[in-house]
């Protein structure tokens, strides 16, 4: 290991915005960390890849996404004329071979893609930028999110608004799941529980979003004149502290919900009826 000591400037650039300093501690090693720092980015990459491959496969199936009264969250709101079931207004004319999920998934996909937490996760897992704290990244230059295409990450707040509309629809789907096959109310199966948990987790994910926290409590000079917003900001802040965990659980549950409906619709399993 070779270490060159920095000079008295502490490695700061002479001119703000000027060229990067060259007098920082120089290490030949990529990191001095002795722990298994690579485990977290490796697990992140594996889980994200599994989900993306599964969701892409499911979106192209264009079948087995509806089993009365349940609909997969990957196909909801089912807005196309070729949709199975009648859980939403079907106004978009699509040929029978075209999967409506390819349109629907744009919103939740973009919401997750631009999420502040997922950005950290996939920047580390796939771009190694950087792969972990105190581990040098392989890239020589850093442009941040100040230019195309990464500047588009700033659209996150707008995806939050759209995803909130999707949450309302998925909550409606969960309510519809309290019907039986003939449409009579007052019934509940395991699928109902799966859809209810799915909607609750998606609300938790949206309400714990950093943009939500800013919308609720940001741009205020003081909270004393806005007690209601302060109260909501407190609730959202508590959820926000768990945003990473909620992001993972809700992602996995969306995949599980689709799988459950898919297995029912294909006749592989039967729904467990509680009443
Ligand atoms: S920061 Fe993760 S959803 Fe907004």
pLDDT tens column, 100-109: 999 999 999 9
Does residue 8 carry a pLDDT above 50? Answer: no
Contact 237, 48 (CB under 8 A): no
Ligand 1 pocket test: which of 107, 109, 113, 115 has the largest number of ligand atoms within 8 Å of its C-beta? 115
Smallest CA-to-CA distance from 119 within 141, 94, 78, 152 is with 152
State residue 136's pLDDT score.
86
* 201-213 per-position pLDDT tens digit: 999 999 999 999 9
Give first-to-last CA distance, the chain, whole Å.
68
Rg, Å, the chain Cα set: 23
State residue 46's pLDDT score.
97
CB under 6 Å to ligand 1: residues? 115-117, 156, 160, 209-211, 243
Structure pTM?
0.88
Contact 44, 121 (CB under 8 A): yes
Distance, in Å, from the CA atom of 107 to the CA atom of 57, rounded to the nearest integer, reads 18
Q: How many CB atoms lie within 10 A of CB 24?
A: 14
State residue 144's pLDDT score.
81
Distance, in Å, from the CA atom of 53 to the CA atom of 165, rounded to the nearest integer, reads 25
Which residue's C-alpha comes closest to atom 4 of ligand 1?
Answer: 209
Conformation bin of residue 67: beta by default, left when phi > 0, alpha when psi is -120 to 50: beta
Q: Of all residues in the chain, what percent carry a pLDDT higher than 70?
A: 91
Does residue 75 carry a pLDDT above 60? Answer: yes
State residue 23's pLDDT score.
65
Does residue 48 carry a pLDDT above 60? Answer: yes
Task: Say how many Å lie between the CA of residue 166 and the centre of ligand 1.
Answer: 15
Range in 7-11, 40-44, 47-51, 232-236 with the lowest mean pLDDT: 7-11
Ligand 1 pocket test: which of 107, 117, 237 has the largest number of ligand atoms within 8 Å of its C-beta? 117
Token reading at 26? 């120089």
Dihedral pair phi/psi, residue 27, rounded to 5°: -120, 140
Token reading at 84? 């199975």
Which residue spans within the chain are E strands per DSSP? 3-4, 26-27, 66-67, 70-71
Distance, in Å, from the CA atom of 145 to the CA atom of 168, rounded to the nearest integer, reads 31
Angstrom distances, CA of residue 138 to CA of 29, 133, 176, 254, 255: 12, 14, 51, 34, 33
Does residue 224 carry a pLDDT above 50? Answer: yes
User: CB burial class (10 A; 0-12, 13-18, 19+) of residue 233?
Assistant: buried
Distance, in Å, from the CA atom of 75 to the CA atom of 99, rounded to the nearest integer, reads 9
Token reading at 81? 């004329």
Contact 252, 54 (CB under 8 A): no
Angstrom distances, CA of residue 136 to CA of 27, 46, 115: 10, 21, 24
Does residue 63 carry a pLDDT above 80? Answer: yes
Does residue 17 carry a pLDDT above 80? Answer: no
Residue at token pair 């996995």 = 252
Contact 114, 156 (CB under 8 A): yes
User: CB burial class (10 A; 0-12, 13-18, 19+) of residue 2?
Assistant: exposed
**What number is the average pLDDT over the span 122-137?**
89
């Amino acid at each position: 290991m070779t270490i060159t000591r920095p000079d008295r400037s502490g490695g700061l650039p002479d001119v703000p915005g000027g060229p990067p300093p060259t007098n920082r501690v120089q290490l030949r090693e990529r990191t001095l960390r002795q722990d298994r720092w690579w485990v977290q980015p490796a697990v992140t990459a594996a889980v994200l890849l599994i989900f993306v491959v599964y969701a892409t496969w499911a979106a192209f199936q264009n079948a087995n996404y509806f089993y009365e009264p349940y609909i997969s969250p990957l196909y909801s709101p089912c807005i196309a004329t070729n949709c199975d079931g009648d859980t939403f207004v079907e106004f978009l004319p699509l040929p029978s071979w075209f999967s409506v999920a390819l349109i629907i998934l744009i919103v939740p996909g973009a919401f997750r893609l631009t999420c502040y937490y997922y950005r950290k996760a996939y920047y580390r897992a796939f771009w190694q930028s950087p792969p972990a704290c105190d581990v040098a990244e392989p890239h020589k230059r850093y442009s941040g999110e100040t230019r195309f295409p990464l500047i588009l990450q700033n659209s996150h707040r707008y995806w939050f608004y759209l995803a909130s509309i999707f949450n309302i629809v998925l909550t409606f789907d969960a309510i519809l799941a309290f019907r039986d096959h003939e449409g009579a109310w007052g019934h509940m199966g395991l699928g109902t529980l799966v859809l209810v948990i799915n909607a609750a987790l998606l609300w938790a994910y949206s309400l714990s979003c950093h943009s939500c926290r800013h919308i609720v409590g940001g741009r205020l000079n003081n909270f004393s004149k806005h007690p209601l917003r302060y109260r909501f900001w407190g609730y959202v802040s508590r959820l926000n502290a768990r945003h990473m965990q909620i992001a993972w659980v809700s992602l996995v549950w969306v995949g599980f919900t689709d799988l459950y409906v898919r297995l029912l619709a294909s006749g592989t399993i039967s729904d467990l009826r509680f009443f």
